[in-house]
């Protein structure tokens, strides 16, 4: 048993290590690489994965659970509230419309109404794992198409709960759903046999418990574990947290992925957010890779070979129908053409929850085994086709119909090759201010942004903005990075900023880098990457607001300006010292207290009676006001 386990592990890792880098070099992306690796070692080619493939798939689904926990960590409740319209609007319409249309097609092709409805609900869902992984790889998660995709996927994950509750009602007396649920943790679990109202109370209570535990219990437990200074214990605690939430949700019949997502959102503002992310990220990557390989290995090529026209026809029909529904939804919600292509083609497949739902459908006797086997193949092939659809969108549709075409048509083809002294990467709230100030001082910059809707809007407002991913070497080169003197980095996420810094440090060493950071941890990462000029998101605005408040309280303008300058200088110097001890929580906290105390003492000494006797004479504005009042 041990030899077999080690041999299987060697096969999986070898396939991933050999195939995924090759797929990335060919521009296919890591997701398609994992799928191809699974196909190669699967039972229909090399045969290294046999009957255990189904068990592997269910084990690897934990990668999806972990991914949603990490996605939740990146979100704050206020962001979810901001996305409420696309979550409820776009997500609700998509699930209902896809269920209705696919169900009607199934009904008119010979299925009974209950069978057709079950098929419609199953195929209405999309793949959270593949879509989010692909969007993150391409840096499109913060675009409107990426945000809308995430909102719809979130609603779909929530919709799994009522779908699982509804499926037993469609059995119409067939099958035996009362003996163990779906077999994979999505049935009633420990609550089987309890009255319905008790099950409902336990389910709601479990969700409330996850929220309260994440708010009050988990931070205290993490603090105790962190006090041991044992990194492996922190990693173990992070894994325990995700596994415990998944087990609890399984026991009460809810989706473990949804429970993990809720737990992540609750901990989004925790002090241990970054620690949890760094500890879980490697496990998430490996388990997701294993999941994608298991999907590739699960494709029954014998069934495809015996019914090629039927199988491929069903896959193509599914992709066309869902993409058409999604495109109509995106258009009705005012989405731009290229963002709508990204949205509709990205979500056209069926998702990983379909494996669970189809297993449940088979056990409940809603569909016979041969029909379920056929639908499972359609699900797997549609998932495998998604990276190809995204590649088709990026290479074919976007250059012809997206914002790039509009940019090229409105200017000569060689415009972006004009040599300018500065490149601005990201024209959001930070980049826009920098670009406008530079322009007002006669320094024109080459501006790059990969949010096509924003590019359209800015161009209508008269800005010269180019659509493209600034982290790509070829785009930077065509934007004149070889001749430029400085690059302003203000991309929407810390990860994208660091990625661009790496590209600049590797290929354009002569460029001065001025970067926006989001918080202290992000600032430390940029410092480690060798960035010398870092500007935190809210630092100077906060100092300016505090200075204005001091003036309203009667402080002299020159005193306030001098103190603001001293505060910024002190904070910058302290940052270098804090960066060196940030991994040691106790020492870091002590040093923060010390720097705050030092700064307060310096400020108090400046407020002595005769420290700066000419402050009052310099502050003519205040004198004029006082004279006027007199």
pLDDT digit string, tens, across residues 51-66: 555 556 556 667 667 7
- Which letter does DSSP use for residue 396 in this model? I
The per-residue pLDDT for 416 is 53
Which residue carries 């809007």 as its tokens? Answer: 457
CB 464 within 8 A of CB 348: no
Measure Cα distances from 247 to 206, 220, 258, 407 in Å. 11, 21, 12, 51
Report which listed range, 123-127, 260-264, 353-357, 403-407, is most confident.
Answer: 123-127
Q: Sorting pLDDT into bands at 50, 70 and 90, what band is 93?
A: very high
Burial (CB count within 10 angstroms: exposed 0-12, middle 13-18, buried 19+), residue 413: exposed
The per-residue pLDDT for 189 is 54
Compute φ and ψ for 489, nearest 5 degrees: -110, 115
Quote helix, strand, coil % in the chain, to nearest 5: 70, 5, 25
Lowest mean per-residue pLDDT among 83-87, 482-486, 520-524: 83-87
When the pLDDT of each residue in the chain is averaged and rounded to a whole number, the result is: 76
Region for 139 from its dihedrals, namely left if φ exceeds 0, alpha if ψ lies in -120 to 50, beta otherwise: left
| Position 611 pLDDT exceeds 70 | no
Q: Which helix (H) or strand (E) holds 448?
A: strand 445-449
| Position 540 pLDDT exceeds 80 | no
The per-residue pLDDT for 105 is 94
Domains of the chain: 2-401 (1.20.1530.20), 417-617 (3.40.50.720)
- Chain centroid to Cα 630, Å, comes to 60
Lowest mean per-residue pLDDT among 98-102, 240-244, 594-598: 594-598
The per-residue pLDDT for 7 is 76
The per-residue pLDDT for 116 is 92
273-294 exposure pattern, b = at least 16 Cβ within 10 A, e = fewer? ebbbbebbeebbebbbbbbbbb
- List 423's β-bridge partners, or say none: 446, 487
Q: How many residues does the chain have?
A: 630
Q: Which two tokens stand for residue 113?
A: 């109404």
| Position 588 pLDDT exceeds 70 | no
Angle at 289 between CA 286 and CA 290, to 5 degrees: 85
- Chain centroid to Cα 593, Å, comes to 34
At 277 the three-state DSSP class reads: helix
Lowest mean per-residue pLDDT among 46-55, 371-380, 523-532: 46-55
Q: Which helix (H) or strand (E) holds 424?
A: strand 422-425
Stretch 310-325: mean pLDDT: 93
Report which listed range, 132-146, 166-180, 485-499, is most confident.
Answer: 485-499
Calpha distance 177→24 (Å, rounded): 44
The per-residue pLDDT for 517 is 86
The per-residue pLDDT for 259 is 73
Stretch 122-145: mean pLDDT: 81
| Position 410 pLDDT exceeds 60 | no
The per-residue pLDDT for 75 is 64
């Amino acid at each position: 048993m041990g030899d077999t386990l080690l041999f299987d592990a060697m096969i999986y890792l070898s396939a991933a290590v050999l195939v995924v880098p090759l797929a990335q070099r060919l521009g296919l992306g890591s997701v398609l690489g994992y799928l191809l690796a699974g196909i190669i070692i699967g039972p229909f080619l090399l045969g290294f994965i046999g009957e255990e493939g189904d068990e592997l798939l269910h084990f690897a689904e934990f990668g999806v659970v972990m991914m949603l926990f990490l996605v939740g960590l990146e979100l704050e409740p206020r962001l979810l509230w901001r996305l409420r319209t696309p979550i409820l609007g776009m997500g609700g319409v998509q699930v209902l419309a896809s269920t209705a249309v696919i169900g009607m097609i199934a009904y008119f092709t010979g299925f009974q109404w209950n069978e057709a409805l079950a098929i419609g609900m199953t195929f209405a869902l999309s793949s959270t794992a593949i879509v989010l992984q692909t969007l993150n790889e391409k840096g499109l998660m913060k675009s409107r198409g990426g945000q809308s995709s995430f909102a719809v996927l979130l609603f779909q994950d929530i919709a799994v709960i009522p779908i699982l509750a509804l499926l037993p009602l469609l059995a119409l007396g067939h099958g035996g759903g009362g003996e163990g649920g779906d077999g994979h943790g999505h049935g009633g679990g420990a609550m089987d046999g309890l009255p319905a109202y008790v099950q409902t109370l336990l389910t709601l209570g479990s969700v409330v418990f996850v929220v309260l535990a994440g708010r009050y219990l988990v931070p205290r437990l993490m603090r105790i574990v962190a006090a041991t200074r044992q990194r492996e214990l922190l990693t173990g605690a992070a894994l325990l947290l995700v596994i415990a939430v998944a087990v609890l949700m399984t026991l009460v019949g809810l989706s473990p992925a949804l429970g993990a997502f809720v737990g992540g959102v609750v901990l989004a503002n925790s002090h241990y957010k970054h620690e949890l992310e760094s500890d879980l990220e490697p496990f998430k990557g490996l388990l997701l890779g294993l999941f994608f390989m298991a999907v590739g290995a699960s494709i029954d090529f014998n069934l495809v070979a015996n019914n090629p026209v039927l199988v491929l026809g069903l896959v193509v029909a599914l992709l066309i129908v869902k993409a058409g529904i999604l495109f109509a939804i995106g258009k009705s919600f005012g989405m731009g053409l290229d963002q709508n292509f990204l949205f509709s083609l990205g979500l056209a497949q069926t998702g990983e929850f379909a494996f669970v739902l189809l297993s449940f459908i088979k056990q409940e006797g809603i569909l016979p085994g041969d029909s379920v086997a056929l639908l499972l193949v359609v699900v797997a092939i549609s998932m495998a086709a998604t990276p190809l659809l995204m590649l088709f969108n990026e290479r074919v549709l976007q250059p012809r119909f997206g914002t790039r075409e509009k940019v090229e048509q409105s200017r000569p083809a060689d415009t972006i090759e004009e040599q300018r002294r500065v490149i601005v990467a990201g024209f959001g709230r930070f980049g826009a201010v920098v670009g406008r100030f530079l322009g007002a001082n006669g320094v024109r910059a080459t501006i790059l942004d990969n949010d096509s809707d924003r590019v359209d809007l800015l161009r209508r407002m008269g800005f010269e903005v180019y659509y493209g991913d600034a982290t790509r070497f070829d785009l930077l080169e065509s934007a004149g990075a070889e001749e430029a003197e400085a690059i302003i980095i203000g991309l929407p996420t810390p990860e994208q900023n660091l990625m661009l810094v790496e590209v600049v440090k590797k290929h354009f060493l002569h460029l001065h880098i001025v970067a926006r950071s989001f918080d202290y941890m992000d600032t430390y990462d940029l410092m480690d990457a060798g960035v010398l000029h870092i500007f935190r998101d809210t630092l100077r605005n906060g100092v300016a607001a505090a200075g204005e408040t001091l003036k309203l309280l009667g402080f002299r303008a020159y005193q306030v300006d001098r103190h603001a300058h001293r505060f910024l200088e002190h904070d910058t110097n302290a940052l270098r010292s804090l960066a060196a001890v940030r991994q040691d929580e106790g020492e870091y906290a002590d040093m923060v207290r010390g720097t705050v105390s030092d700064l307060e003492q310096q400020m108090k000494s400046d407020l002595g009676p005769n420290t700066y006797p000419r402050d009052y004479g310099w502050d003519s504005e205040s004198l004029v006001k006082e004279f006027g009042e007199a």
